[in-house]
Chains A and B, each alone.
Chain A
C-alpha cells in the first residue's frame, strides 16, 4: 500500500504543481524519494515536529495548494490532534493526512505506535472524511480521489508495504463513499476494511467450506459511511459479520449495530473489533 501510494502520488505530482507532501521524520518510500529529488520544493520535511506538519499543510491549502501530510498514523493524528481538528477540520480544508501503519500494523513497536483508535477518532471529527483502503488497488484509487477533491480534509489510513491484491475478483470499481463487493455470495456478508481484509477472506473461505455462500465487502470509506449500501446488506443477507482492526468505541461495528436498529434488521449480526485496552504483546 505504501509503495502504491508513493507511485500514484509521484505520477499525479508530476502533472499537478499544486500537489505537495509534508513529512515528519519518516524515510520516503519508493517513488516519494523520486518525487523528492525531482521536486525538492514540494517535498517539505518538518523533522520530529508534527504540529507544524499539520499547521503547514493547512496554511498551504489556504493559499491554493493541495498538500498531503505523511507520517506514521499515531503521529499524523494523535500528536497534532488539535491542529487536525482546528486547522484542518474546523476550516474544512482539502488536505489529506496519510497515516502509515494504521490500526496495529506496527504490532511489534508497542502501544505508542498502535493507532488502534485512529478510525474512531478521525470519524468523530466534523468535516473529516476517512478512507481505509484494503489493498494496493484501493490505495491507488483513493489517492487519486484525494488529490483531486475539494470536499475537505481526509484521513487516509494505510498499512505498510507488501499487502496482497484483494480486488482481483471485485466486480465494482472503487467509489468514494460507496461500499465495494470484493467477493459475491448470497447467505453471509463480511464487512471489513484495511489490511485485516486478508482475514476476512480467510473467514469467508471457512464459511464457504461449510456450504455457506459468503460475500466480502470493503467498507473503505468510513466517513461518510454508505448507510444505504450497508442497510441493503443488512436486509439482503441472513448473517452479517463486521471484522475490523479498531477499538470498539466509535468502530464500524458500533455504527453497523446502530444502523441495524434503525432499519429494524432481521439478520444475525456478529462484530469483531480490537478490545478497549492497550496491547502488551508483540508480533
Chain B
C-alpha cells in the first residue's frame, strides 16, 4: 500500500524547513574549506518540495518514488534532508569530505538515499530516462523526479535524453531545471544569448513545460500536481544562486567557496531575518 500524495503544500512549514536546511548547510560549511553552498541554496526549495511534498512513501517507510540529483554539486541540500529523514546520520554529515566519512562533494550511488552517482553534468537526465522507462516496463506507478542545473542543458547528452524521454512518452519523468543562470564563470545568459527561451525549447522537444518561481515550493507543487500528463514534464524553476545570503547571491565565487567565520555569522543573521 502506498501513502497517498499530499493534496496541498503547507508553504509556511516549507519556509521554516528551508531555513533549517540552509542553516545546517552553513554549519557544515564551517567544517571544510570548500563546499557548494550557493548551488545548494538555489535548489533548496525545489528539493524540499519534492521530498516533503511530492514523493510518496511505501508502508514500510521507504521511498515509493525516486529522487535523482543530476546537478551533483547541489547534493548538500539532499544530504541534510536525508539526515532529517534518518537515512543519513548526523555523524555522516559531521564527516562530510573527511577521510573517515562516506559523503563527498558529489553524490555516490553507494550512499543510502542516493539514486545515482552524479557530479559530471549531463548524465542525470539519461539515467532518469532509463529509470522511468524501466518503471513503465514493470508497469508500476513510480515517478522519477530529477533535478538538473540550467548549465546541464548546455550538454548535448541532456538533449539526447530530452528527445528519448519524449519519444517514449515518459509521463512518469518529472524534471526540475534549477534556472539560476550562473555557471562557474559568469551569468550564462550574458555569454549564451541564443540558448533562450527554455520553456519553448522543451515544448518543441515534446515535453510539457512550465516556468515557475523556484523558491516557491507551493508553486512547484501545484505545477506538478496540475500537469496535463501524457508526456514528460519539466518545471523551469527561476532561482537565485546562493539564495538567502546577500553576499553569495549571483556571485560566481560562491559556487564552491566556504564562508569564513564573519561571513558565516552574517549569513545566519540574514537567513533568520528573512523569516
The interface of chain A, by Cβ under 8 A from chain B, is 20, 41-42, 44, 46-47, 49, 51-52, 54-65, 67, 82-83, 86-87, 90-91
Contacts and interface: CB of A to CB of B under 8 A. Distances in A.
A131 to B, nearest CB: 23
Main SS at interface, chain B:
helix
A70 B115 CA distance: 25
A46 B130 CA distance: 11
B131 A52 contact: no
A49 B129 CA distance: 14
B164 interface: yes
Interface string B111-124: 00001110010110
B157 A55 contact: yes
Contacts of A90: 109, 117
Among A41, A51, A56, A91, the one with the most B-chain Cβ atoms within 10 Å of its Cβ is: A56
Main SS at interface, chain A:
helix
Contact of A49 (B116, B125, B163): B163
Interface residues of B, number: 28
Contacts of B116: 58-59, 62, 87, 91
For the complex of A and B, the 3 pairs showing the least CB-CB separation, nearest first, are A55-B126, A59-B130, A63-B134
Interface of B: 109, 115-117, 120, 122-123, 125-138, 156-157, 160-161, 163-164, 168
Given A62-B131, A90-B117, A91-B117, A83 B126 contact: yes
A34 to B, nearest CB: 19
A20 B127 contact: no
A47 B168 CA distance: 13
Contacts of A44: 133, 168
A201 B157 CA distance: 44
A173 B10 CA distance: 64
Contacts of A61: 130
B246 to A, nearest CB: 36
29 contacts: A20-B137, A41-B136, A49-B163, A51-B157, A51-B160, A51-B161, A52-B160, A55-B125, A55-B127, A55-B129, A55-B130, A56-B129, A56-B164, A57-B130, A58-B116, A58-B130, A59-B116, A59-B127, A59-B132, A59-B133, A63-B134, A63-B135, A64-B138, A82-B120, A82-B123, A86-B123, A87-B116, A87-B126, A91-B117
Contacts of B136: 41
Given A62-B131, A65-B134, A83 B164 contact: no
B23 to A, nearest CB: 32
A42 B127 CA distance: 17
A52 B120 contact: no
A84 to B, nearest CB: 11
A26 B160 CA distance: 17
Contacts of A67: 130
A91 B120 CA distance: 13
B109 A91 contact: yes
Contact of A60 (B115, B133, B161): B133
Contacts of B134: 59-60, 62-65
